Amino acid sequence: MANSARARADILLAATRLKEKPVLNEEDEKQRASAEKVARLKALRLAKEAADKKAAAGKEKPVRLPQAHRGRT
């Protein structure tokens, strides 16, 4: 009697694991997609920051003397 109960429990456990496996794969897929999205957005942000830094370096303002030290015209 205990043997048949054990066998039924094993069958139910196996069936439950088979049902859970696609759910776990789906969750893993969602995590992977989210990680890819974050990595893509980070790469875009870093590229934009580098481009902004490069553009700012080319547009440096000339150094001006304070108004008190400028010649009067």
Q: Higher-confidence residue: 55 or 63?
A: 55
Q: What is the C-alpha to C-alpha distance for residues 21 and 13, in angstroms, rounded to an integer?
A: 12
Q: What is the C-alpha to C-alpha distance for residues 70 and 8, in angstroms, rounded to an integer?
A: 96
How is 27-62 classified by DSSP, letter by letter? HHHHHHHHHHHHHHHHHHHHHHHHHHHHHHHHTPPP
Question: What are the extents of the domains in the chain?
Answer: 2-50
Query: Residue 47's pLDDT is what?
Result: 92
Encoding tokens for residue 72?
């009067």
Query: Residue 68's pLDDT is what?
Result: 67
For residues 45-61, give the mean pLDDT. Answer: 84
Query: Residue 31's pLDDT is what?
Result: 92
